[in-house]
Chain A
Amino acid sequence: METAVEQTMTSRPDKPEPTKWKRAKKVFKGHPMAIAGLIGVTLFILTAIFAPLIAPQNPYDLAKLDILDGLLPPGSRLYDGTYSVMGTDALGRDILSGVMYGLRISLFVAFTAVLVGSSIGVLLGLLAALRGGWVETIIMRAVDLKISFPGILLALMLLAIFGTGVDKVIYALIIGAWASKARLVRAVALSEMKKEYIDAARLAGLSDFRIMTRFLLPNSISPVLVVLPMSISGAIGAEATLSFLGVGVPITEPSLGLLIANGNDYLLSGKWWISIFPGLVLVAMVLCINVVSDRLRDHSNPYLRAKD
């Protein structure tokens, strides 16, 4: 029946193809949770980008800090007359400002790591499918090796060797992100390789590189795009974990995980706001991204079911 409907649709006079925007709207229509998630994600990203403009205080600027403001509860009036919505930490830094700047670091680290890691993974997966033989064996055994290691343990080991820092955390997370994408893309690409349009491209004498970029890549990338948001929320969590454990970003550039770790010592002495607020923001952001990515995955479910 599908084919019948499809064919009659095509025989109708030309209809403009639905634009990307229209198709995107359709994905979220009728799913209030997903829309709320999307709004949440947008707000978090905007906050992160414009943090220096909207934050009440620059937590990096030590001249602006006053030790007298230390450990004030939410809603307190600070020494300079302003109010602190989320309270302050031991050094008198405003938690709200800290969270906004922390969001910046967390998102930057996660996005960069996942995008770079996934690109590497997709490239390797396509290469494995296209070349086969020993190239495939090496790549896929490397994937197996990577996946057989607990991710956080691997990251801890790498950071222990290379030392800490924002760039080192990104490297560690890249190494965590590529393998699953390589495996996913290879599976899809292998089934695409059997189709006749690849034969046609080979017959036309096109180079492997061109076949990979213009033929294989656009037809195999969809499942990766669907799992991408999920990977980003995973990377945010992983970065927070590493920072909390003290091997992540340095104290001068605090991320959400480090802010939580900062307040850890004060939790039992009733100074709950130092840890709780960054924690809530972290949970809310991961939740929003997951709701959106769940929706994306459900929307493309028949595809995943068929190809995965």
Chain B
Amino acid sequence: MMEQLISVNDLTIAYPMADGEIFRALKRISIDIHRGQVVGVVGESGAGKSTIGKAALGLLDENAVIETGDVSLGGNSISGLSESEFTPIRGKRIGYIYQNPMTALNPVLTIGEQLLETIETHTDKKGKSARAYAIELLEHAEVTEAEDRLSKYPHQLSGGLCQRMVFAIAICARPDLIIADEPTTALDVTVQKAVLDTLKKLAKQDNIAIILITHDMGVVAEICDYVYVLRYGGMVEHGPTKQILTQPKKDYSRELMAAIPRIDKKLARFAVPGGMSKTGNRQRALDFLLDREERSAIAKGEPLLSVRNLSKTFVTPANVVSAAKEFKAVDNISFDVISGETMGIVGESGSGKSTVGRMILGLHTPDEGYQLTYHGKDLPVAKSRAERLELSKSLQCIFQDPYSSLNPRMTAGENITHAIKAHGIIGRTAAHELAGNLMELVGLQRGNVRKMPHALSGGERQRIGIARALSFRPDFLFCDEPTSALDVTVQAELLNLMKDLQEALGLTMLFVSHDLAVVRQMCDRVMVMKSGQVVEIGDCDKVLVNPDNPYTQGLLKVMPRFSFDEAR
């Protein structure tokens, strides 16, 4: 039997709110962790999973109140300790790994300085021996060329390497427990697996317990031994990973699993509630949207948009100290988007996939020598406002970040219809009516029209973003990672909605994502991009199942996955 290391007993944490109400971030949560165990804490944002980690470190916000229960480490309660009593525990007995390694490291100090400082604080190693230990730690954390890296600054290293540096700092005092708060969320899929493997190896090697806080069931399946599922601060269920994955008892756990996009098989819809509204109310919006003007006689199955020899070079202008720098974001790519299909573009961050879309939308000017044909006509380059409007009516975009894509000083309804009102397409009262109709179509209550964006959740905001794009009655939607900022269940609901809309309205979509599984679920054809170039292009059934190109094969291989059939 393994020794019990940390236990959270019946913990309730409350925040008194400004309006006199009390918000409970955690409700009677109990968690036990043994040495050498990797425990996953899963839940959507707002589930209270980060609060557990903060409670264990004594880093709760000042206004937090522990209503019931406590946290004990090795049998001693630590939840009532003062700031100074916590200091020897932090770092020494409990390490913490942050979500974004780029912001967790101090940008003006070298990796070596940061690592050595921690080592000299927490261990009795000084000077040369501290340095030797630092190199040993980095090698432990699978950092190549460890000695060289010590003199590097965080911005000179990739996200995956930075996260390994954070690992090294976290394990330097040989803590009993490491709390990893979404350690791979900020990283590309390709490095995610390697980083997780390192973490798991460290846990087994030094017999360290790990609490892995994540929203991603795939990550849990990859490395966790035991899982706790949380929702709204309450415990939904817990059990060994295999049991939760294969025989979840609660509906919510089942939903959480169903919401994970799978790579092996394309499903018609995710098995989660949500999607286009099923009520009769949606008909009004649908009638409006289907009443759009016919733009050309391009039949289903013919290319609606043709892209030829598209390139984009970003130039950093020369200044006193350095010459002009050129960066080729997109390098001579060509593809067609067929009317009525969903075309996917996948690639890691920096592969130029969003830039392609922004050029098609006219937000970037491409390099000379390209040809963009849309509805059988050249896309206008120097656009007058009339031409711009004509294009806006047909070509719209769903943006990546719902938190910045809505004007924070306009109501939700105003955000949806402001532009078409400004163009005089629709009058004031009709606009108000339309905003309500569109909201119902995308699955929101009519009453939300008057709410300001900050009063809505990320998923709700993204629905507003979709409604805004639809208000122009477009026939082509460019979707720029529309769900990457959202929880997996919200993502599933939104993807269902987009599929419903496409079916009902006959939309053509260009769908950019870094997530192969999402593309697999959404798209008919896919283009794989790497450093601005096209690696492979073809049907999803082929490219994402049995790819020819070694790069695509590599991408597929590192995807965290677990056997879904086992899970059913």
| Inter-chain contacts of B388 with A (CB < 8 A) | 205
CB pair A5–B23 under 8 Å, yes or no, is: yes
Which residues 386-418 of B sit at the A interface, judged by CB distance below 8 A?
Answer: 388-389, 391-392, 396-397, 399-401, 404-410, 418
**Shortest distance between the CB of B379 and any CB in chain A (Å):** 13
| Inter-chain contacts of B401 with A (CB < 8 A) | 196
CB pair A196–B50 under 8 Å, yes or no, is: no
Residue A199 is within 8 A (CB to CB) of chain B in the complex = yes
Which residues 184-235 of A sit at the B interface, judged by CB distance below 8 A?
Answer: 195-197, 199-207, 210, 214-215, 218-219
In the complex formed, the residue of A with least CB distance to B385 is A205
**Shortest distance between the CB of A234 and any CB in chain B (Å):** 28
CB pair A200–B405 under 8 Å, yes or no, is: yes
CB pair B419–A195 under 8 Å, yes or no, is: no
Residue A82 is within 8 A (CB to CB) of chain B in the complex = no
10 A-B residue pairs with CB within 8 Å: A4-B46, A4-B50, A196-B405, A197-B406, A199-B405, A200-B468, A201-B407, A202-B363, A204-B392, A204-B423
Q: CA–CA, A207 to B386, complex, Å?
A: 11
Which residues 409-458 of B sit at the A interface, judged by CB distance below 8 A?
Answer: 409-410, 418-420, 422-423, 447, 452, 455-458
**Shortest distance between the CB of A126 and any CB in chain B (Å):** 14
Residue B61 is within 8 A (CB to CB) of chain A in the complex = yes
Q: CA–CA, A267 to B408, complex, Å?
A: 57
CB pair B405–A203 under 8 Å, yes or no, is: no
Residue A17 is within 8 A (CB to CB) of chain B in the complex = yes
CB pair B407–A219 under 8 Å, yes or no, is: yes
Residue B526 is within 8 A (CB to CB) of chain A in the complex = no
**Shortest distance between the CB of A9 and any CB in chain B (Å):** 7
Name B409's contact: one of A11, A15, A17, A218 (CB within 8 Å).
Answer: A218
Please give the number of chain A residues whose Cβ is less than 8 angstroms from any Cβ of chain B in the complex.
29
Name B361's contact: one of A3, A15, A203, A218 (CB within 8 Å).
Answer: A203
Residue A14 is within 8 A (CB to CB) of chain B in the complex = yes
CB pair A197–B456 under 8 Å, yes or no, is: no
Residue B373 is within 8 A (CB to CB) of chain A in the complex = no
**Shortest distance between the CB of A19 and any CB in chain B (Å):** 13
Give the bracket for the number of chain B residues in contact with chain A.
35 or more
CB pair B423–A9 under 8 Å, yes or no, is: no
| Inter-chain contacts of A195 with B (CB < 8 A) | 404-405
Q: Give the B-binding residues of A (Cβ under 8 A).
A: 1, 3-5, 7-11, 14-15, 17, 195-197, 199-207, 210, 214-215, 218-219
Name B457's contact: one of A10, A204, A214 (CB within 8 Å).
Answer: A10
**Shortest distance between the CB of B359 and any CB in chain A (Å):** 13
CB pair B452–A17 under 8 Å, yes or no, is: yes
**Shortest distance between the CB of A304 and any CB in chain B (Å):** 17
| Inter-chain contacts of A10 with B (CB < 8 A) | 455-457, 460
Name A15's contact: one of B19, B363, B397 (CB within 8 Å).
Answer: B19
CB pair B447–A14 under 8 Å, yes or no, is: yes
CB pair A9–B17 under 8 Å, yes or no, is: yes
Q: CA–CA, A175 to B385, complex, Å?
A: 36
Give 19 new A-B contacts, CB below 8 A, not counting A1-B61, A197-B404.
Answer: A1-B50, A1-B54, A3-B46, A4-B45, A7-B458, A8-B232, A8-B233, A15-B19, A195-B404, A195-B405, A196-B399, A199-B397, A200-B465, A203-B363, A203-B392, A205-B385, A205-B392, A205-B419, A210-B422
| Inter-chain contacts of B408 with A (CB < 8 A) | 197, 219
Q: CA–CA, A199 to B17, complex, Å?
A: 35
